[in-house]
Structure 1
Amino acid sequence: MNKILIAAAATSVLLLAGCASGPDAQTKAAMSQVDQLKNQVEMLSKEVAALKSNQADAEMQAQNASMAAKEASMAAMAAQEEAVRANERIDNIAQSYTK
């Protein structure tokens, strides 16, 4: 009975010593892979932030271009209306000379 208890105690001590030892090669490799993945996630996060910034800039430029196009269209319409009024004045002057 004592031999069994001694064997059980020795086995438990060896098991606990094995669990308390430092990380083995597989654990180190896994930790290295985790670190690499963390670095990749950080890099991808930075790239996503840069792309979002670029997209916001592009949207702003598109809005500015749209506003400029609307302003140009309004200016063209105003010029056309002014040309029509000028033509009417010229027609009225021409009619006054023919009377």
Structure 2
Amino acid sequence: TCSDKWSRARDSTPIPKSQVCVTYKADGRDAAVASGDSGGPVYSDASNGPVQIGIASHVIFDFYYPPFLMCVDDSVPQVYNSVPEYKDWILKHSPSATFV
């Protein structure tokens, strides 16, 4: 699982409840976030359309890992801040935001 990959990469450090680990494909290929993607959204399909579940937080960089593969290798954990965990903060700063 994504959480297992994260744990192996971070010496058994668990993912905090405020974050979510995601693996996904784009155009049928493994996909991942890269350093320039910080702050970008991740969506999940829902019956009424896509729902934003996270905001790109960070990826693990390895100086020995080819940079051009960081964005396409599903073995690199993708960690996002969990939108539901920040609902109160979001509503404080954006009162018109809606949640499903």
TM-score (norm 2): 0.18
Greater strand proportion: 2
Greater helix proportion: 1
Which structure: larger Rg?
1
